[in-house]
Amino acid sequence: MSEPTDEAVLGDLAETDILARIFPRLPGAAAAIVGPGDDAAVIAAADGRFVVTTDMMIHGPDFRLAWSTPYELGWKAAATNLSDVAAMGARPSALVVALAAPADWPVAAVESFADGLREACDALAPGCGVVGGDLSVSPVLTIAITAFGDLEGRTPVLRSGARDGDVVAHAGRRGAAARGLRLLFTEGVDADGHPDAERTARLRREQPLALAAQLAPEPPISSGVDAATAGATAMLDVSDGLARDARRIAEASGVRIDFDSAALGDDPVFALGGGEDHGLLATFPPGAPIPDGFRVLGLVVDGAGVSLDGKAIDPAGWDPYSGWDGSAG
């Protein structure tokens, strides 16, 4: 990660000058025929189809600058979108990034944000890169990313394909990001409950892994292709809580997802309620090989909703309009 180059803020420079600083830091995309510099990019889609998704991160409901560094924001913005592409069984190919920031935000922060984007793509989805985007001014720091993916001839894996008797499995961490979020809300705040950078810095020293899981998650992006190749019948990115997102598969497929408490580990509350690890939840036909990296957590059964050891549960998790509604957050 590069160190800040100077103390300039966005309001000191023209847009072209800012772009000239960040373009060299952004990852190139192997699928790009025409990259940044024209009115639009041109991306190869040899499959004849492509997967596309978009997501926003807004200061306040989605992150706090007292908790997250610009580098972490770039990493997380890339990781969350790459995971959505992977959940369709596609390989991420390109990102389009829009950033609206206050005029007094340091140019060095934008450079660090670009570094986070680049290093996340390099680590999680080699070959995927930034092919364009937009810069604007806003009193509220806002990040919007559109991600593209290549199905490479595979059928997309939808939420609606789970069937009675399928095996439910998950790839990635479960509950680590929720633990990090709880630490931030309980120990990364001042006496009035406001996010505090100094207390967060102490947490970074004392609980580095827990905070990293929340602020810079590492989703198992390659596991999406592995699951599709193994015959996954349904799949999604676990962003809002394992139980809440499992209910989405259950509703789309007209089935019930029954979790086995013994498979969830020592703390099923965090495992079921936490979601920002951005793991992949998938269902597989009975007898199908379960890809490396996935752990069996339960079964698809006849019925509706989500259950734990056969007993119906009310899924907790994240809702953008009401926040966390469970004890994991």
Q: Which residues are annotated as a binding site for ATP?
A: 133-134, 159, 239
Binding site residues for substrate, as ranges? 62, 276, 318
**108: which 2 tokens?**
């060095």
Q: Which residues are annotated as a binding site for Mg(2+)?
A: 39, 53-55, 84, 134, 237, 240
The pair of three-digit structure tokens given for residue 54, joined into one six-digit string: 């978009």
99 vs 22: CA distance, rounded Å: 12
184 sits in which H/E element = helix 176-187
Q: Round to whole Å and give the CA distance between 82 and 76.
A: 10
DSSP percent split of the chain into helix, strand, coil, nearest 5: 35, 25, 40
Q: What burial letters (b/e) apply to 163-172, b meaning 16+ CB within 10 Å?
A: eeebbbbbbb
Annotated binding-site ranges: 39, 53-55, 62, 84, 133-134, 159, 237, 239-240, 276, 318
Identify the sign of the CA torsion 304, 309, 311, 317.
Answer: negative
